[in-house]
Structure 1
Amino acid sequence: MKKLTFAFGIYTLMLGLVVGSIAAFFIGLVHFSTEFLWTFVPEQFNSPWFYPICIGLIGGLLVGLLQIKFGGYPRSMHENMAELKRTGRIEYKNRLFKTIVSAWIILSFGASVGPEAALIGIVGSTTTWIIDHLKLSLKHKEELISLSIGAIISSIFLSSFSGLAEEIDDSTEAKKIPKQSKLLLSILISFSALASFLWLKSFMKIPESIFSIRLPDAGWSWWFVVLFIPMIILGWLFSIYFDQLQVYIAKALSFIKNKMVLALLGGLSIGIFGIISYYLLFSGEHQLIEVTKSVQEFSITALLIIALLKPLLVAICLATGWKGGAIFPAIFSSSVMGYLVTVWLDGPTGFLITIFVAASCTKIVGKPVLTASILLFVFPLQFFPFILLTAFIANKNWWASFKQLSQHN
């Protein structure tokens, strides 16, 4: 048993290094292609104002062709996780190449979505292929795939404990190996994946990410006690806006059945939104640093446009075949809106922005511990207990609890 446990630990450690490397190379590929399309090429033509529309339509043509030839790739995070829970694996045959190419095109051509959905599919499929060639029992193969998913989340969001948080959020599910061993392995694979990811990312000289966010006035004020709950409510309301836009846009475009028309419509939207503001494009991972460094130089109108239109473009992208994750855009738009709702305060606002973002992102992601673990490395460490408290408060379905209590009485 000890020999098996040691061998399994070695497998887990090596798999973490592979997972982090895959994430770094994919992020690097997207970064360099994005720089080429959105910086190098337009500079050669003196950056014409209509360039975003041209590149958006070209991207729409490519996305449309990929949708027709490959189908709906990359699959969403929820689709991949559902397959893992249902089958114990994420299939790689006739899928891995499609996921990589589709995600690369979508992210490079300016879609307002994040890479997490694609990377979970890529890493899950790669891990399945690797462990299919290992002499392990079926239950241990399933656990390695599950661990690799946690590791990719840790790498993408630079959070060593995200894999562990994923396990805690899903603690109600039956486990194939003892809980303590699973948690230990989650930490091991997360740290090894994060180490290889950061090393390769620095080697490729990829710019700093969202997790170098600068907060205005991160001190303490008596206002925090009074505004704590109102800020949670406002963040929760913004999450409703973020989520419901996806529902309404999907319904509004449901009458269009032609995948090419949908993809071109998405590309045209990316181009128009790109003309309005550069900050509406991409996942928002890198733009948030720029915004938070010079937020006072933006007008209230400009920030409001960014905060309200970013979720709209996310919804359009998802509804037109430009598929990807929503966590990075959620953090970006929630942070901008959080600043707006606190701009009238004279005192420190960093804490209240943190609470707003924690409440909003928790409702969007749906996993309080995972959300808190991600935001742990976004906002000042001293705010983490309040982030965790906010996540659990925001995640609770208070209306359902109220109705249940009313029926009981």
Structure 2
Amino acid sequence: MAAISFLTSLGWGDQFLKGFPSQAPFVLQLLIPISCGLAIGLLRRAGAEPLPELIETFAQLDPKQDQKLQLEIQPKLSHILLGLLALLGGGSIGPEALLSRSLTEWQLGLQRLKTKLAIGGRLAKGYWSWLPGLIGGFAGFALLKGFDRFGGGEQGVIFLWPNSFSQGASNLAWALLLGAGGGCLGLLFLGLRRQLAKRIKRCQASPLPLAIFTGVVLALVNIWQPLALFSGEQQLSPLLQGELLNRADQLLLVGFLKIALCALCLSTGWMGGLFFPLIIGAAAIGQGLHQAAGIIPGEVAISALVAGIQAMVLAQPWVPFVITVVVLKGHALPAAVIGSLMGWRLNRYVRDI
């Protein structure tokens, strides 16, 4: 986490770490995404394996699956390098895929090391048995600091509970509608990924031009709308407090751009997590809808859309609900519950037809 913060600040400037557009020299802002795209493409062409997505890592660790899948998890430097390059280059992806995969690989590597040393005698039992616990403690500390930094939530954004039956009924209706809207945003994200995968397969494009193309796109988007780059976790609170964008059309544009760029990055080798880009994108769209149509309660729109998009993508309601509660710090909790259920039901409906 410290390395990511230091390198990001070095390239993009301290102002970016506060959630605001980078104040780095303009030429540098263009060169960083393109250079990272070139590096990602060259590494992939040289045979480096891309960083697996978080869902893929979970599938390999599932005890119900074939144990051979867990044997495929080997510590690979390429995962770290490719994950760092994608984050530092401005990809609209989060750090959770890199962190979870690194911790998984290190943990399983230590377990294998412990097993090998145990064959040789007492060394593993006497001296090495504490290593997994120690690493787990460090990992827990890092994750807690990570939640503190990456899950800043809506600090300073006021949530007003309904003060009448009619207001509560109105919030309920909006939560149902916007929860389904969040599911539609998730459907849009999944559809973009499918279409990009089909086009890439049809063109038989190699990893190098794909990675460079994404770097160029990110550089151009940075000129037009810099807040659409990166995962956006630092931008959540200032964005919703009106410190970054004040117009509804700008909020809607940033939200849709972030979701689209996340799909592009994941489809072209810029691998990372999808939680934060989807969360920030849905939150920006919710805030934009609130400003565009004053009758939509902002806190309900944000929580319902954020929970709904995740439930649609993950195809289950409870993890998106927990993530929404943690990131938004319990903001509009009933709307988060309804949004999660609506996004999940929409996923089931689409899958059945």
Shorter-chain TM-score bucket reads 0.7 to 0.9
TM-score (structure 1 length as normaliser): 0.69
What is the match of residue 119 of structure 1? 99
Residue 198 of structure 2 is matched in structure 1 by 251
SS at match of 1:377: helix
Cα distance in 1 for partners of 2:296, 2:269 equals 44
Identity %: 22
| Contact 2:93 2:276 (8 Å CA) reproduced | yes
Deviations 1:237-288 (A, max 9, x none): 1211222122222323331422211111011011111111221111111122
| Aligned residue number for residue 60 of structure 2 | 83
Distance 1:226 1:316, change over 3 A: closer
Inter-CA distance 215–243: structure 2 relative to 1 (3 Å threshold): farther
1:377 to 322, 326, 329: 326
Superposed CA RMSD in Å reads 3.1
TM-score, scaled to structure 2 = 0.79
Q: How many residues align?
A: 316
Q: Amino acid of the residue matched to residue 152 of structure 2?
A: F
2:31 to 54, 77, 80: 54
**Does the 8 Å CA contact 1:216/1:348 hold for their aligned counterparts?**
no
- Tell me, yes or no, if structure 1 residue 68 matches structure 2 residue 45: yes
How many angstroms apart in 2 are the aligned matches of 1:260 and 1:402? 38
Structure 2 unaligned segments of length 5 or more: list them: 17-22, 117-134
Deviations 1:168-187 (A, max 9, x none): xxxxxxxxxxxxxxxxxxxx
Name the SS of the counterpart of 2:231 in structure 1.
coil
* Aligned mates of 1:49, 1:57 — CA distance in 2: 13
**Aligned twin of 2:226:** 278
Shift of 1:134: 4.0
Shift of 1:370: 1.2
1-structure distance, mates of 2:185, 2:303: 14
Aligned in 2, Cα 1:216/1:375: closer, same or farther, shift over 3 Å?
same
The match for 2:150 among 206, 209, 224 is 209
Alignment check: 8 A CA contact 1:113 1:282 kept = yes
**Deviations 1:30-85 (CA, angstroms, capped at 9, x unpaired):** 11111111127x9xxx8444443222211111111111124331111222223233
Cα deviations across residues 89-117 of structure 1 (Å, max 9, x unaligned)?
Answer: 26454x42121111111111111111122
- Distance apart, 1:400 and its partner CA: 6.3
Q: Secondary structure at the match of 2:259?
A: helix
Corresponding residue for residue 399 of structure 1: 349
Work out whether residues 95 and 273 of structure 2, in 8 Å CA contact, stay in contact via their aligned partners in 1. yes
Contact map agreement 1:64 1:264 (CA 8 A) in 2? yes
Instruction: State how 1:5-404 maps to structure 2 within 5 Å.
Output: 27-39=1-13, 47-85=24-62, 86-87=66-67, 89=70, 91=72, 93=74, 95-134=75-114, 193-198=139-144, 208-214=149-155, 216-221=157-162, 222=167, 223-254=170-201, 255-294=203-242, 297-343=245-291, 344-345=293-294, 348-381=297-330, 383-396=332-345, 397=347, 399=349
